[in-house]
Structure 1
C-alpha cells in the first residue's frame, strides 16, 4: 500500500462491484482484504499493484466506462431478465467491463439512460441531494390545469411516498381528443414517479420519454443508439453534482 494511492472504498466502487457507501460498510465489517490482510480502516490508500479481495473474491480492476443510451420503449432497465426480454445492455458494444444502468426507466418509457461500471459515479448521480435535473416529456390522457400542475410542485402522496416535481409546464394541448404534452422536471427518480403523479391529477400517462439528464440530451440520436460519454462530459457531470451540494 502507498500513501499516494486511491482510497480503498473508491477503488472498490470504481471496479463496479458496489457503490462507495456499500464498500465502506464492507470494509468496516471486515469483509475486505488488501494483500491478504483485513483492512477495516476507512480512507486506507491502495496502489495499482495491491491485491484486493471483497468477500473473499479477488477484485478485478476494470477501466471505468460511461455510456449514454437512447432507450427504446419495450426494453428492461437491467443487465438481464428472467423472461428473456430485451435489456438495456443488449445495445452496448462488445466490451469486457460489467456495465449496469444508472437508475432506471420503466419498460414502456423511452429516452436518455446512462450506464457505467463506476459504482461511485453511479451513486453520486442517483442520490437526490445532488439535484441532477431530469427532464421528462409526457403525453397525457386529459388536459391538466395550471392548478393541478401546481399540486405536483407542492408534492403529492402516493403509495406512502411524497412525490414532487421541480418544474412543470404544458407544451401543447389537443382539445378535440382531450390530450396534452407536458414537461416535468425532477431531481429524484422514484419508481413510476411521473406516472403516479399524473394519475393523481387525473391526467394519466399515455407515452413518456426522458429527454434530458443534466446537460445531456438524445438530440441527433435514434432509439437504440448508444455512444460513449467523453471524458469532459464525465467531468461535467461530477462537477454538476458537486456544485449542487456546496
Structure 2
C-alpha cells in the first residue's frame, strides 16, 4: 500500500491531504523523513506525522445532522461551536468529508476512511449532493438554463445538475461539485438570496428523519447507498 493510502486508511485525512503532508516533509518512516510517494510501508514500519505515531484503525463513518451555527472544522479561531462539539470525544479523530457553511444545515459525513473521502469528493466520481433551497422571493424558472449551463466561479465553471421547484420559493438542487458557497453564489448571480440551505442527500444516502444535532454510525448498507464504489 502506497504511503498516501496508508495514511488515509489510518484516518490522517484524504489522499490529497496526505500527499501534502508527504511533500512538506512532515512524514517519517522508521525515523527518516520520507518524501517518496511510492514508498510502501509494511506492518513492522513506524510511520509518524509531525512526530506522532500513525496507527491504522478499522474504517468508521458517521452521519450527522448539522444544525445552523456550527462550523465544519475541528477548532475555530473565533471560538465558534464546531461539529465536533456534537459528537463524543472518542470520535474526534474523524475528519469531515467536505464542509457545510456555518449557517447551512443537513447531512454531513465524518470518517477515518481517506479512500471513501477521496471517492466522495473527487469530481470524476460524479456523486450527487441534493439540497433544499429556500429563496427570498418566487423563483423564475426561465433562469434555470443559465445555472444548468454553468457560471464561472473561482476560475472554473460552476454547474447545477438539476433544479426542481417544490413551491414558489423552495427548490431542490443537485450538485456534483464542491466550490465554496457554490449555491449561495450562483443564485446571487441571477439576483436571488438564499435564505435557508439544507443538504438532504449524498449519493443515495438520505438525511431522512435523523433529528437536528444527532448522529449515527453508518452501516455497510448505508455505505453502499453513497454510490462511491471502489
With normalisation by structure 2, the TM-score equals 0.87
Listed one character per residue, the Cα deviations across residues 107-162 of structure 1 (whole Å, up to 9, x for unaligned) are: 11101000112233212211111111000111111222222011110001245442
Q: 1:20 aligns with which of 15, 34, 42?
A: 15
Tell me which moved more, 204-213 or 35-44.
Answer: 35-44
SS of residue paired to 2:119: helix
What is the aligned-residue RMSD (CA, Å)? 2.4
Distance 2:23 2:99 in 1: 30
Listed one character per residue, the Cα deviations across residues 86-117 of structure 1 (whole Å, up to 9, x for unaligned) are: 11111112316512211111111101000112
Give the aligned partner of residue 63 of structure 2. 68
Give the aligned partner of residue 142 of structure 1. 137
Q: Does 1:227 align with 2:216?
A: yes
Give the aligned partner of residue 120 of structure 1. 115
Which residues of structure 1 form unaligned runs of 5+? 1-5, 174-179
Tell me which moved more, 6-15 or 222-231.
Answer: 6-15
- Deviation of 1:45 after TM superposition, in Å, equals 5.0
Q: 1:156 aligns with which of 130, 151, 157?
A: 151
- What is the number of residues matched between the two proteins? 229
Distance 1:231 1:214 in 2: 14
SS of residue paired to 2:167: strand
Distance of aligned partners of 1:182 and 1:46 in 2 relative to their CA distance in 1, 3 Å threshold: same
Distance 2:225 2:9 in 1: 18
SS of residue paired to 2:115: helix
Q: Does 1:188 align with 2:177?
A: yes
8 Å Cα contact 1:27/1:42 also seen in 2? no
Give the aligned partner of residue 84 of structure 1. 79
- Deviation of 1:62 after TM superposition, in Å, equals 3.4
Which protein shows a greater Rg? 1
8 Å Cα contact 1:149/1:169 also seen in 2? no
Distance 1:242 1:171 in 2: 31
Distance 1:208 1:41 in 2: 39
Tell me which moved more, 93-102 or 53-62.
Answer: 53-62
With normalisation by structure 1, the TM-score equals 0.82
Q: Does 1:110 align with 2:105?
A: yes
Give the aligned partner of residue 44 of structure 1. 40
SS of residue paired to 1:90: helix
Give the aligned partner of residue 196 of structure 2. 207
